[in-house]
Structure 1
Amino acid sequence: MLVADARDGRLTELLQRRAFTRLGRGLAPGGAIPAARIAENAGVVAEQVSLAEQAGAQSIRAVATACIRVAANREEFCRAMREYGGVDVAVLDGEEEARLAFLGATKTLPERLEGRVAVVDVGGGSTEIAVGTVDGGVEWWRSFAFGSGFLADAYLGDDPPSPDQLDEVRYHAAQMLATTVPPPVDVAVAVGGSAASLRRLVGDVLGRESLAAALGELTRGPAVDVAARFALDPQRVRLMPAGLLALEAAGRLLGQPLHIARGGLREGVLLDLAGM
């Protein structure tokens, strides 16, 4: 993920430039990212850096999360991003990823969140849960080695996925969280690509009924058809049932519906750059 600090209105447009590279696709924990996929990602990063510079960015920061964090050749990846992508990459550990996601989620909502807040960040290769307050920041956090990409690759072989495959994802997510005891919270917030995309299907709150409705929509037909119906990327749609079930498991753990945030890790990086 790359973010840039610019001084004009083009920043908002720049932040919406996304590319699906699926670096972790088929990658076992601790495995090496194939050279071709590193080269592809370097090209994407170089393009994003160029766009940021054209927009007048004063500083650029690139960060990497779970996939790169656990890769056997993470140093090779970072070197390629520096030499061919034109930017140094900071590999975030789980704690820093949780902190930045919490910052981006809690500081970009239209209304102030009172009490203790949980932020759930379901990424492609990991899920972070952070608990704290808006003023005090993160008090408790955990990082879990599963995300929408990992779960989809491991279990969702059919398009659309079968009920049995969905049950396997649900069971895996539940087992990963089974021994976790977070502090009690007053409100829970969801960030990440799956959560943001689910807003198009069911609105701003992910509760039991809305999650069930969204899962029904996502499994009604092939990913390409669902994508066309909701103006989503087909690759994103393929991952969304897994991401949804990860969010469902987190919401159950926290005992709260999940309110979909307007910001997350990316916005947290920007706010951190700004010293907020």
Structure 2
Amino acid sequence: MTPARIACIDVGSNTTRLLVVEREDGQLTEVGGLKVFTSLGAGRAAGEPLHAERIAAVVEAVGEQLAHAEALGAGSVDLVATSAVRSAPNGDAVVAAIQAAHGVELRVLDGETEAAYAFAGATIGLAGVEPDTLLAVVDVGGGSTELVLGTLAGGPSWSVSLPIGSARLPQCANPPCPDDLASLRARVHEAFAAIQPPGVPLLALAVGGSATSVRRLVGEELSATSLVAALGVLCSGTVAEIAAQHLMEERRVTLLPAGLVLLGAAAATLGAPLRVASGGLREGVLLAVR
């Protein structure tokens, strides 16, 4: 059987991202992708509408990514949106603008569905794990953070979606100072205070832009010690300096202090160190495509 070549575009609070894969027998092989910092959730307090210029940037990025997916031979493209669109009073405007410009539907995911896709994508191809082993997945995004527990055999059994992400927390000074980090930790601690997962996972996987970026600083395992070390790196120079030294986008470096604090809180809540997963939301979406 010829592998199916399919694609997903994920409209998030920070980025709009394309992933093109070949799917065969429940496995995904990446063919290509694109990422644009469209910052849809930037400069917006909770309950405020999305800015028109940010919506326009997303519409433009989606057009470029649809063309790229077609050039790579994708037979279908699934467009999904997460926290920035679902939480905004004018989120429907993003859906309508993409439909009008490109004739395609943007599917807005609720928190539970987003968590389920993240779990599926993070655990695909996981080796050496028994089917009934309790696993956790943490998805720190720009506008929300999802925690999921489940097994390979049964899928997700518990999840929570918190309306807090790297783009919703205050930006730090350049470079960050101890007071910035203390303020972030206080805000995040308050958001996580009532979360009580019904078990301690044997393995906890982290997905999302913060997790995949921080490994450039400290590697694949995001223990409490390594997260503190990563924050130390971010505090050691300006955004431009850190971005140049570690081959990262400046916008991502700006968001990372908040992302790292969120990852640390998630690890503490789950009672297990995090490991960066090889897949995430987009892979989960593509696994579910019929």
TM-score by length of 1: 0.92
**Equivalent residue for 2:247?**
231
Structure 2, gaps ≥5 residues long: 1-9, 11-17
**Equivalent residue for 2:137?**
119
**CA distance in 1: counterparts of 2:67 and 2:175, whole angstroms:** 38
**Equivalent residue for 1:73?**
90
Aligned partner (choices 216, 220, 225) of residue 200 of structure 1: 216
**CA distance in 2: counterparts of 1:244 and 1:162, whole angstroms:** 15
**Offset of residue 175 of structure 1:** 1.0
User: What is the DSSP-based 3-state SS (H/G/I as helix, E as strand, rest coil) of the residue aligned with 1:189?
Assistant: strand
Large movers: runs of 4+ above 2 Å? 2-8, 11-15, 108-114
**CA distance in 2: counterparts of 1:83 and 1:132, whole angstroms:** 39
Aligned partner (choices 39, 64, 71) of residue 56 of structure 2: 39
Are 2:267 and 1:267 aligned?
Answer: no
Matches within 5 A, 1:1-276: 1=10, 2-4=18-20, 12-15=30-33, 17-112=34-129, 115-151=133-169, 154=170, 156-184=171-199, 185-273=201-289
User: What is the DSSP-based 3-state SS (H/G/I as helix, E as strand, rest coil) of the residue aligned with 1:262?
Assistant: coil
Q: Are the equivalent residues in 2 in contact too, given 1:69–1:91 (CA < 8 A)?
A: yes
Q: Are the equivalent residues in 1 in contact too, given 2:239–2:250 (CA < 8 A)?
A: yes
User: Over residues 180-232 of structure 1, what are the superposed CA-to-partner deviations in whole Å (9 max), with x where a residue is unaligned?
Assistant: 11022221111100000111111110112111111111111111110110101
Aligned residues: 268
Amino acid at match of 1:177: F
**CA distance in 1: counterparts of 2:232 and 2:102, whole angstroms:** 40
Q: Are the equivalent residues in 2 in contact too, given 1:6–1:55 (CA < 8 A)?
A: no
**Offset of residue 57 of structure 1:** 0.7
Structure 1, gaps ≥5 residues long: none
Amino acid at match of 2:49: A
TM-score by length of 2: 0.88
Change (3 A) 1:26 1:113: farther
Flag the structure with higher helix content: 1
**CA distance in 1: counterparts of 2:284 and 2:83, whole angstroms:** 17
Amino acid at match of 2:189: A
Q: Are the equivalent residues in 2 in contact too, given 1:5–1:59 (CA < 8 A)?
A: no
Please tell me the root mean square deviation across aligned C-alpha atoms, in Å: 1.7
Amino acid at match of 1:159: N
Q: Are the equivalent residues in 2 in contact too, given 1:6–1:56 (CA < 8 A)?
A: no
Amino acid at match of 2:242: V
Change (3 A) 1:182 1:127: same
Percent identity between the two aligned chains: 45
Greater Cα shift, 95-104 or 171-180: 171-180
Change (3 A) 1:253 1:26: same
User: What is the DSSP-based 3-state SS (H/G/I as helix, E as strand, rest coil) of the residue aligned with 1:14?
Assistant: strand
**Offset of residue 13 of structure 1:** 4.5
